[in-house]
Amino acid sequence: MINERNIAEKFSAIWKQNFPMLTPNFIKIFNETQVNLINLNAVSINDGERYDLVSEASFKLAELVIQKNCTPSDYLSHQKSLSILLENTAQSIWRKGGQFGADIKLTNSELKDLIQLSNNLLEFIHFTKKEDIQFRPKLKGYGFIPDLEADLSIDDTLYEVKTVTRNFKSTDLKQLFIYLALRQVSEGNTWQYAGLYNPRKGTFTKFNVKKVIYNLSGGYTPNEAFGKLLDGLVRDIEIDTTF
């Protein structure tokens, strides 16, 4: 099944046609000038760490502790809560094979990183949120693009959370654009701002959607640019499916 990561990593001709200014040089300058530090406690990846499990579980944990009005450490102090969290996380990222349920055990290092990553995300939310927060906002699909879930909506801003050790890449922005585009075509409007956040490095960026889309697309409005993008992607997917 086609998903947002596939779309962001492939269909280079469609992306170049619709966002010709989204170049390697733009991303280099973007990382140098538009990315800010918000968390002081960076989290490195230790040898052998199952970073996918730890990263996804930390995101789920932040959502849970906001719902329960507690801290990550308090929530995980109950072994059953930790087991359920890990099982749910494993089922979402290891759909085929892998370890499940009681077989999943975190090392002390993984547990420490899980808590710190969640704390970093909560700190980020605390400093940026004014009124409303929504984890995993749902987005209606378009053509062959299925219904999707974005990461984090805070007030009028949509954030893509990337728990990685690298700098932000063009594919991260493309993934954001897919979410913004689906919201635009289904509701006739989208978030006013968008951004990227990395709880592992403690960095984030936030930008005005209208301004960035205008600059990267060569002068189009979000409505025009996103409509052209989705139509181009659907046509390309239909051609690939046919042949």
From the list 107, 89, 110, the residue with the least C-alpha distance to 99 is 89
113 touches 50 (CB < 8 A):
no
pTM metric for this prediction: 0.92
User: Mean pLDDT over all residues of the chain?
Assistant: 91
Per-residue pLDDT of 1-16, as tens digits, reads 578 998 999 999 999 9
14 touches 229 (CB < 8 A):
yes
As a whole number of angstroms, the distance between CA 118 and CA 124 comes to 10
Question: Looking at 37-41, 66-70, 99-103, which range is the least confident one?
Answer: 99-103
Tell me, what's the pLDDT at 79? 87
Instruction: Specify the 3-state DSSP secondary structure of 150.
Output: coil
Domain range summary for the chain, segments of one domain joined by +: 4-38+132-242, 51-128
Tell me, what's the pLDDT at 238? 63
Residue 102 has pLDDT above 50, yes or no: no
Instruction: Specify the 3-state DSSP secondary structure of 45.
Output: coil
Per-residue pLDDT of 129-159, as tens digits, reads 889 999 999 999 999 899 999 999 999 999 9
As a whole number of angstroms, the distance between CA 27 and CA 189 comes to 26
Residue 157's DSSP bridge partners are 154, 193
Residue 177 has pLDDT above 80, yes or no: yes
Question: Looking at 51-65, 203-217, 227-241, which range is the least confident one?
Answer: 227-241
As a whole number of angstroms, the distance between CA 78 and CA 62 comes to 16
CA dihedral 91, 92, 96, 97 (to 10 degrees): -40
